[in-house]
Amino acid sequence: MNPRKLFYEKFREAAASVLPITIIVAAMCLAFVPVTADLMLSFLLGALLLIVGMGLFTLGSDVSMTQIGTYMGARMTKSRSLPLILSVSLLLGIAITVAEPDLQVLATNVPAIETTVLTLTVAAGVGLFLMLSMVRILFAIPLKRLLIALYLAVFALAALTDPNYLAVAFDSGGVTTGPMTVPFIMALGVGVASIRSDDHAQTDSFGLVALCSVGPVLAVLLLSFIYTDVPENAAGMIVANYADTVSLGHGYLEALPDYLGEVVLAMLPIVVFFVIFQVAALKLRRAPLLRIVLGLVITCVGLVLFLTGVNVGFSSLGYVLGQHLASPLWQHLLVPVAMVMGWFIINAEPAVHTLNRQVEELSQGAISEQAMRLSLSIAVSAAMGLSMLRVLTGMSILWLLVPGYALALGLAFFVPQTFTAIAFDSGGVASGPLTAAFMLPFAMGACSALGGNVMTDAFGLVSLVAMMPLITVQLMGLIYVIKTRKAEKAPQLPDYGDTDVIELWEV
């Protein structure tokens, strides 16, 4: 595609993704939810940065992160050295996760556990399960069996865990697969699977995100037995206030270096590993190498703008919006408003576009990008509604997660393996930075206004967003199976030629 046309296409997609949620929130704030003018202006400026940042990120990711992951995955497997593959996977999983922006948002809101300890625990879980993912691909181990065994272990531990940690543990599995890790991990899977020549190689390239989402949950559940004293309602957030437009502008400018540092730190391990592979093994020519370097720069700039817009412009307004909608006057709107926002917010998650494109390409159009987008919108909308129901009632997260995962794993026996792998990958991808930085503060604001326990009632939103796609995508697969069987049973008409006479009745 022409570079200029590609550039325009990415920004058109970004605008179409961000504008609906921006219009919905702005309409509520102008009609019946009173917020200060500085918060509203900050939100609109954040929306503009989201559009520019997402456009640049998706453009840069296509020509850099995806290519690096594919090259490295293919090269690792060609070495035929299992210890090398496993050790590199472990280091990559830990290094990428430590600086994942979504994880930082969650870790700073969790009391009792130090941010560094929680971050390293989650990173170790991702690294270990990325190793497991490589073993699964190389030895063609069925994903369904692994997922059933792992989730049985997860819920067995959950039954013994302090309720204050349940939601945080399941949320940690969703936030680790953010905009930085997903493009790389998925491309790494494609690269590793490319060495196999059997019919199921492409199908097995999916499932990495799914397994890497389980590791952090198990790790945090185990960590909860060490950190046992949890102060109730210790999680909260500071709502930003600006005296005038100049202080608002300074607020954004002061945030830029912080997020630039986070993004550079997040990308540094990938760059270092790529440089080592390039010098030692890949030896790419100048043109593709320069294209990847340029893509990395564009990715970095785009993600910095995106995270600045989300965290500075969206988080505070989300918290205040949740507080107002939880008031007795508007409480009846809390669930439907959250569902409407969930429907549109999934399209503004940058990693979702990467997943949808790769699904359409690897399935050769059998699973279209539009079908994936629809199933994910339904899933996240339902997840937001259930999350607000928990905020209103104080329902335990296990009352939703146990039957939800039981249904998801049960569906795996009736749909093709491809749909199961894509569904579990979609769960990790759907819970991105916009969910963590806007909808989680929204739930926290509503919970605090209602006097609930933020740790047990507000946290858990990300885990529900990660769970619902497992059901909706596999239901899409079930519909696909039913339609295919009906098409096979349908009577086939004779293949008549252009000059044949067709008798419509008998004499």
3-state helix, strand, coil in the chain (%, to 5): 80, 0, 20
Q: Which residue shows structure tokens 């990308």?
A: 267
pLDDT computed for residue 196 by the predictor: 64
pLDDT at residue 363 greater than cutoff 70: no
| First-to-last C-alpha distance (Å) of the chain | 60
- Of residues 499 and 79, more confidence is placed in 79
Residue type (1 letter), 253: L
User: Which pLDDT score, from 0 to 100, does residue 203 have?
Assistant: 66
Asked if residue 79 has pLDDT above 50, the reply is yes
Tell which wins on pLDDT, 316 or 428: 316
Separation of alpha carbons 194 and 212, rounded Å: 20
Residue 86 to residue 232: CA distance in whole angstroms = 40
List, for residues 4-42, the tens digit of each pLDDT value.
787 788 888 788 878 888 899 999 999 888 888 889 999
Q: Which of 113, 122, 94, 110 has its CA nearest to residue 220?
A: 122
Q: Rounded to an integer, what distance in angstroms lies between the CA atom of residue 108 and that of residue 116? A: 9
CB-CB neighbours of 4 under 10 Å: 8
Question: What's the confidence (pLDDT) of residue 273?
Answer: 81
Q: Are 295 and 62 in contact (CB under 8 A)?
A: yes
Q: Identify the pLDDT of residue 198.
A: 62
Q: Which of 66-70, 83-87, 160-164, 277-281 has the lowest average pLDDT?
A: 66-70
Highest mean pLDDT among 141-145, 182-186, 337-341, 483-487: 337-341
**What gap in Å lies between CA 468 and CA 424, rounded to an integer?**
10
The string of DSSP codes covering 201-216 is HHHHHTTHHHHHHHHH
CA separation (Å) from 492 to 215, 487, 497, 499, 502? Answer: 49, 10, 15, 20, 16
Single-letter amino acid code for the residue at 358: Q
Measured distance CA(12)–CA(4) in Å, rounded: 12
What is the C-alpha to C-alpha distance for residues 220 and 168, in angstroms, rounded to an integer? 8
Which of 293, 254, 252 shows the shortest CA–CA distance to 275? 293
Per-residue pLDDT at 385 exceeds 90:
yes
pLDDT bin (cut points 50, 70, 90) of residue 164 is confident
Which of 386, 416, 390 is CA-nearest to residue 479?
A: 416
Q: Which two tokens stand for residue 307?
A: 């995270």
Amino acid at site 473 = V
From the centroid of its chain, how far is CA 217?
15
CA of 29: how far to CAs of 15, 167, 266, 313, 401, in Å?
21, 30, 35, 14, 33
Count, residues in the chain: 507
* Per-residue tokens: 168: 């945080």
Kindly report, residue by residue over 436-479, the tens digit of the pLDDT.
Answer: 778 888 998 999 899 888 888 988 998 999 899 999 988 888 88
What does the pLDDT read at residue 264? 87
pLDDT surpassing 70 at residue 362: no
pLDDT at 507 (0 to 100): 45
pLDDT, position 233? 46
Global pTM reads 0.82
- Residue 228 has what pLDDT? 64
Higher pLDDT, 237 or 235: 237
Neighbours of 361 (CB within 10 A): 12
Distance CA 333, CA 325 (A): 7
Residue 504: is its pLDDT beyond 50? Answer: no
Tell me, what DSSP letter sits at residue 502? P
Instruction: Give CA–CA dist 345/20, Å, rounded.
Output: 8
pLDDT at site 151: 93
Coil vs helix vs strand at 44:
helix
Which residues have C-beta within 8 Å of that of residue 231, sequence separation ≥ 6?
111, 112
With H, G, I as helix, E, B as strand and everything else as coil, classify residue 329: coil
